[in-house]
Chain A
Amino acid sequence: GQNIDQPTEMTATEGAIVQINCTYQTSGFNGLFWYQQHAGEAPTFLSYNVLDGLEEKGRFSSFLSRSKGYSYLLLKELQMKDSASYLCALRNTGGFKTIFGAGTRLFVKA
């Protein structure tokens, strides 16, 4: 099976950097995805990792270490609009199914 663990909530200050961790136990997967979901809205795609290492997309970066069963999403220069839930998800080796973590609610304060 696949278990995905993320912190339930985090709080950070506007302009700061925050790292949201995701750990998992799985027998194998094709890729790890990060989605952002504002309250009452649909999740939207942020980034994904297939290989170990860092993927950078503007203010957002995502890191994967398959050997450690670990990923993180890094948000730089935090803005108030970054207050949202961040979902870590694994796409299984069959390619069709994606397993989502429960998400981390990030609160950005002034």
Chain B
Amino acid sequence: DVKVTQSSRYLVKRTGEKVFLECVQDMDHENMFWYRQDPGLGLRLIYFSYDVKMKEKGDIPEGYSVSREKKERFSLILESASTNQTSMYLCASTTFQGWASGSLREQYFGPGTRLTVT
């Protein structure tokens, strides 16, 4: 079974703190993603990475950065946490098998980290 783990299920931080969210997958997937999920808004992509040391901005990258030093690990960093970053953060991974429609593969999600910034 594919396993995606996240470092914490619940996290409480203060405004201005630097926050690290860690994600590890054990299936040698090339692609990894960070989303945040808020009521009524669904999952929104923050950043993704398609290879080690490679990263691309998603739809809402402001206030976040990422790091991918090893294939299995993708970290999300909040440089200076703010209250509007209180959310559920979900990491996901998938394998890449080409650009053709038939090569699509589903994403595997971690259990999520519920971050509260006070």
Q: When the two chains form their complex, are residues B104 and A50 in contact, meaning their CB atoms are under 8 A apart?
A: yes
Q: Are A42 and B101 in contact (CB under 8 A)?
A: no
Q: What A residues does B102 contact at CB under 8 A?
A: 50
Pick from B11-19, B65-73, B75-83, B105-113 the stretch touching chain A.
Answer: B105-113
Q: Which residue of B lies closest to A102 (CB)?
A: B42
Size of interface on A: residues with Cβ below 8 Å to B: 25
Q: Are A97 and B58 in contact (CB under 8 A)?
A: yes
Q: Count the B residues whose beta carbon is within 8 Å of the partner chain — how many?
A: 27
Encode B37-57 as 1/0 by CB contact (under 8 A) with A: 000111111001010000010
Contact with A along B80-118 (1 / 0, CB 8 A): 000000000010000010010110101111111000000
Question: What's the Cα separation between A27 and B25 when bound, in Å?
Answer: 32
CB nearest neighbor in B for A46: B106
Determine if A95 and B109 form an interchain contact, defined as CB atoms under 8 angstroms apart: no
Q: Chain A's nearest CB lies how many Å from the CB of B40?
A: 6
Task: Determine whether the beta carbon of A98 is less than 8 Å from that of B107.
Answer: yes
Knowing A43-B90, A98-B45 are in contact, say whether A31-B110 is a contact too (CB < 8 A).
Answer: no
Asked if A102 contacts B90 (CB within 8 A), the reply is no
- CB pair B101–A96 under 8 Å, yes or no, is no
Chain B contacts of A50 at CB under 8 A? Answer: 101-102, 104
Tell me the complex Cα distance, A89–B107, Å: 11
With known contacts A42-B111, A87-B43, A97–B48 Cβ distance under 8 A: yes
Closest 9 CB pairs of A and B: A45-B106, A42-B109, A102-B42, A100-B43, A50-B101, A100-B42, A31-B104, A30-B101, A43-B109
